[in-house]
Chains A and B, each alone.
Chain A
Amino acid sequence: MSLVVKRYIPHAVLVATAFFLAGDTLLLEKTYNDLATSGVKAISIIGSFAVLISITMLSRLHVRRIQRRRTVIESSVLLVCMWATMIWGLFRFAVQGVSPLKEFAVQQVFSGIVSPGDATIYSILAFFIAAAAYRAFRARSIEATILLGSGVIVMLGKAPIGEMIWGYFPVLTTWLTDVPNTAGVRTLILSGIIAVTALYVRIILGYERGWMGRGD
């Protein structure tokens, strides 16, 4: 019994949902398609609750860190930022009916912390790439040489200065993107879908139980 509700029914739910929606993508029948759209709506609502897990995990991790007196300042900053934004925004939304998009304080948090934080953190990668370019990008083998060569040509071809240095850089770049790149990426797309199909078959057949989270 317990195995039925713990394992078999969730698995059956997965398989049923998968085939129900796969049928919807392949077949045309109005009642069926409408039902599927409602199903998509329901699953979208359910899926948005997944965010609760990372909120809880973040809170738990950082409360623990504060208790253990590790990274007290950082963890408190994180908790305050997270919960203050959430509580105030939810209060304004649920009680006063102000959409978060129109809520002034929430938008200030976005443009003062979230947006610059995200953008800066990724722009740091520009420095890392430059350093790695100097240190690690070596023409060690034929494969690495091809990689480097096409990389350098594309970099010059895509920036306006490349065309000033040598008029054929953009032409070469276009050829590289149109031919070897199309072939290579198309292969990755094809091989990706083949691998995913095999994985999904394993999941549907119940051989891949990883998504169930644990072994009981």
Chain B
Amino acid sequence: MDVRYMYLLVMIVVSIPLLKPMGLPLGTISVETTRMYQYIDKLPSRSIIVMIADQSPAAAAECQPAMVANIQHAVNKGHRVLFYASRTDAVPFIDDAMKVVLGATSDHPNYGKLYVNLGYIPEGELGLKGLAADVFFTGRDAYGKDLRAMEFFRDLPKKDASDWGLIIYYGASSVDWVVRQITDVYGCKTAGGVAAVLVTRMYPYYPHSIIGFQTGLRGAAEYEVLVKRPGEAAAGMDAQSLSHLAIVIMIIVGNIGYYASRRKPSGGG
């Protein structure tokens, strides 16, 4: 059979629930998401939450809704949020998320007081290490404003990562470097809004170093329910359901065909 019929089938299975939502219930909210929510909820007001944007435009489909929901939660609780991007093409997503929740970026009245965007810090792990050792590592924020003049940092006792309340990683590549540079050194716990591919990698660190995380689009949808801000993620869950079901059916059909053809003596494997 032409493989393109399969592609067409996938397109249809994903498209129909998007165009005509069925409104399947989301089901039980996972423990990982709940724990992350509770952790942020229990942090004292004005705690610093560092958000690492490591989502490429591709991973943004999964991580961005989580980031938005988390910022919303931080805003509700009055936490301070420090953003930075560890890859070049993630930089605009910080602005996007701020615009969605706060309506503005550097023009927002609380920018510099509660929210600071450090922009891109090069060299991944090395850059994070620098930032952890000295919060003024970059000198200025993404828009060219001087960090030392900002109210955000004024009452921080040590000006390093031991002042932080939580660090959240958004992306799809790897989370180990955050744990080894921040959590085990400074004691600031890690959380994540990660693409589903990365989720398996989180469990060995959960729950002692990574206190909780959101699993791709579904995790974001759950977080949206928790912060009562139904948004982007919830709308996609029907399509997720149907397409998973379709793929499972395809696997089963494929295997039945395989065994049927093996039974026949003439049919090769």
A residues contacting B by CB (< 8 A) are 25, 33, 36-37, 40-41, 43-45, 47-48, 97, 99, 101-102, 107, 110-111, 114-119, 121-123, 126-127, 129-131, 133-135, 137-139, 148, 152, 155-156, 158-164, 170, 174, 177-178, 181-182, 185-186, 189
Contact = CB atoms under 8 A, between A and B. Distances in A.
B26 A41 contact: no
A47 B120 CA distance: 13
B156 interface: no
Contacts of A137: 251, 254-255
Interface string B234-251: 000110111111111011
Contacts of B7: 127, 130-131
A182 B241 contact: no
Nearest to B206: A182
Contacts of B58: 118-119, 121-123
14 contacts: A40-B127, A40-B130, A44-B126, A44-B127, A97-B144, A99-B144, A101-B95, A123-B58, A139-B255, A139-B258, A156-B244, A160-B240, A182-B203, A185-B204
B146 interface: no
Contacts of A130: 6-7, 9-10, 243, 246-247, 250
Interface residues of B, number: 65
Contact of B203 (A47, A122, A164, A185): A185
A158 B123 contact: no
Given A114-B89, A119-B58, A133 B241 contact: no
Contacts of A116: 57
Dominant SS among interface residues on chain A: helix
B67 interface: no
Interface string B197-209: 0011101100000
A178 B6 contact: no
B111 interface: no
Contacts of A133: 247, 250-251, 254
A162 B204 contact: no
B250 A134 contact: yes
B245 A160 contact: no
Nearest to A139: B255
A159 B200 contact: no
A152 B251 contact: yes
Interface string B101-133: 000000000000000000101110011011001
Contact of B123 (A48, A139, A170): A48
Nearest to A177: B203
A163 B122 CA distance: 43
A40 B247 contact: no
B92 A107 contact: yes
B237 A160 contact: yes
A44 B120 CA distance: 11
Contact of B91 (A25, A43, A48, A101): A101
Contacts of A135: 3, 254
A134 B254 contact: yes
Nearest to B120: A101
